[in-house]
Amino acid sequence: MGAVQGAIDAIAREAILFAGVGLLIGGIDDLLIDAAFLIRRAWRGGRRRLSVMTLSAPTRPGRMAVFVPAWDEEAVIGAMLTTALDRYRHDDYRIYVGLYPNDGPTIAAATAVARTDPRIRLVIGDTPGPTTKAGCLNTLWHALLAADAADARVTKAIVFHDAEDVVHPDELTVFDTLIEGRAVVQLPVLPLVKRGSRLVSGHYADEFAEAHAKSLVVRTALGAGMPLAGTGCAVAPAMIARIAAVRGGDPFDPASLVEDYELGLRIAEMGGRGLFARVTDERGGLVAVRAYFPATLGTAVRQKARWITGIALVGWDRVGWARPLAMVDHWMRMRDRRAPIAVLVLGAAYLSIVAWLASIVSHGWTGVPVTPMPDAVRLLLIVNAWLLGWRLIVRAAFTGRTYGWREAMWSMPRLVVGNLIALLAAGRAIWRYIWMLRGAAPAWDKTRHEFPALDQPIDAVAS
Please write the tens of the pLDDT for every residue from 441-451. Answer: 776 667 778 89
Domain residue ranges of the chain, discontinuous segments joined by + = 2-38+336-437, 64-187+232-294
3-class secondary structure for the chain?
CHHHHHHHHHHHHHHHHHHHHHHHHHHHHHHHHHHHHHHHHHHHCCCCCCECCCCCCCCCCCCEEEEEECCCCCCCHHHHHHHHHHHCCCCCEEEEEEECCCCHHHHHHHHHHHCCCCCEEEEECCCCCCCCHHHHHHHHHHHHHHHHHHHCCCCCEEEECCCCCECCCCHHHHHHHHCCCCCEEECCEEEECCCCCCCHHHHHHHHHHHHHHHHHHHHHHCCCCCCCCCCCEEECHHHHHHHHHHCCCCCCCCCCCCHHHHHHHHHHHCCCCEEECCCECCCCCECCEEEECCCCHHHHHHHHHHHHHHHHHHHHHHHCCCCCCCHHHHHHHHHHCCHHHHHHHHHHHHHHHHHHHHHHHHHHHHCCCCCCCCHHHHHHHHHHHHHHHHHHHHHHHHHHHHHCHHHHHHHHHHHHHHHHHHHHHHHHHHHHHHHHHCCCCCCCCCCCCCCCCCCCCCCCCCC
Asked if 358 contacts 301 with a C-beta cutoff of 8 angstroms, the reply is no
CATH number of 64-187+232-294: 3.90.550.10
Question: What is the percent of the chain with per-residue pLDDT over 90, rounded to a whole number?
Answer: 69
Examine the pLDDT at 215 and tell me if it is beyond 90.
Answer: yes
Band of pLDDT at residue 461, cut at 50, 70 and 90: very low
pTM over 0.85: yes
Examine the pLDDT at 149 and tell me if it is beyond 60.
Answer: yes
Band of pLDDT at residue 147, cut at 50, 70 and 90: very high
The pLDDT value given to residue 458: 60
Examine the pLDDT at 320 and tell me if it is beyond 90.
Answer: no
Q: Given the DSSP bridges, would you call strands 157-160 and 233-235 parallel, antiparallel or unpaired?
A: antiparallel
